[in-house]
């Protein structure tokens, strides 16, 4: 089933991406929930959730260079015929440590290599308008056949890289109505997203489960560019299907009415 798409250089990717924090145990909520996710989300369950996305025409996933994700991508392709384009986010303390992780991304078959916020923001010197070692990083990413991007929690990264002319094709940027984990007010982040000509991969649209999907997706999709995409993590096939349906409605792809939650306290609201 087709899904609204965008392009990053020569790659066509869906305007909704599969997030993996709920696969790998990063709840951004509590240590107990992290541990439960790691115990619960077997490879089979990850494949099951990814399959829901891919059968709906969603063809992109974002994660660290984790071999489990590579295996899941391969299994989902065998089941659905869809191979997810992988936005891989390697991390390291320094440049010498990052370069082997970039090579690991290439070995795992990543489409996009986007050094993680831990490295990007740590090596950005705003007052000097540069990111230490970035030229070497993007050059190596290109040499290995991947598209370079950057993951960041700081909107300054987008402005800095655009001004400096760094070889960065796309950015991962936090954006949600609560401002959860955001470094500045959300209206500033909205401006930065819309002023760059490059596609943005917006993450944490539901503030790690703190915002209703209809509210979070509505806020984000209504205030970003048509070339941008949004990445969301889900814990089970039902959540995946519901999120996809909400996004289809927001993007004008469906007129189906959303099913709301129900409890006895809402009985008087039903006509």
pTM (two decimals): 0.93
Predicted confidence (pLDDT) per residue in 82-126, tens digit: 999 999 999 999 999 999 999 999 999 999 999 999 999 999 999
Q: Which domains occur in the chain, in start order?
A: 5-269 (3.20.20.100)
Q: Specify the pLDDT at position 50.
A: 98
Mean pLDDT, residues 249-256 taken together: 80
Beta-sheet pairing, 85-88 with 60-63: parallel
Using one digit for the tens of pLDDT, what is the confidence trace for 152-207?
Answer: 999 999 999 999 999 999 999 999 999 999 999 999 999 999 999 999 999 999 99
CA 170/CA 60 separation, integer angstroms = 14
């Amino acid at each position: 089933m087709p899904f609204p798409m965008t392009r990053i250089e020569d790659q066509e990717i869906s305007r909704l991406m599969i997030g993996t924090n709920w696969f790998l145990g990063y709840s951004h909520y509590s240590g107990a929930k992290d541990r439960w996710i790691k115990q619960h989300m077997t490879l089979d369950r990850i494949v099951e959730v990814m399959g829901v996305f891919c059968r709906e025409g969603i063809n992109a996933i974002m994660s660290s260079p984790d071999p489990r994700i590579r295996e899941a991508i391969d299994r989902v392709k065998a089941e659905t015929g869809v191979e997810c384009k992988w936005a891989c986010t390697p991390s390291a303390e320094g440049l010498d440590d990052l370069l082997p992780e970039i090579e690991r991304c290439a070995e795992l078959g990543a489409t996009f290599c986007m050094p993680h916020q831990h490295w990007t923001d740590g090596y950005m010197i705003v007052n000097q308008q540069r990111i230490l070692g970035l030229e070497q990083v993007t050059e190596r990413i290109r040499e290995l056949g991947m598209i370079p991007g950057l993951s960041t929690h700081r909107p300054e990264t987008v402005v800095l890289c655009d001004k400096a002319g760094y070889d960065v094709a796309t950015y991962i940027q936090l954006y949600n109505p609560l401002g959860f984990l955001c470094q500045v007010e959300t209206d500033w982040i909205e401006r930065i997203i819309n002023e760059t000509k490059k596609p943005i991969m917006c993450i944490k649209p539901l503030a790690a489960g703190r915002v209703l999907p209809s509210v979070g997706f509505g806020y984000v999709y209504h205030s970003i560019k048509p070339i941008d995409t949004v990445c969301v993590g889900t814990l089970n096939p039902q959540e995946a299907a519901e999120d996809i349906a909400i996004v289809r409605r927001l993007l004008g792809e469906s007129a189906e009415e959303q099913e709301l939650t129900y409890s006895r306290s809402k009985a008087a609201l039903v006509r």
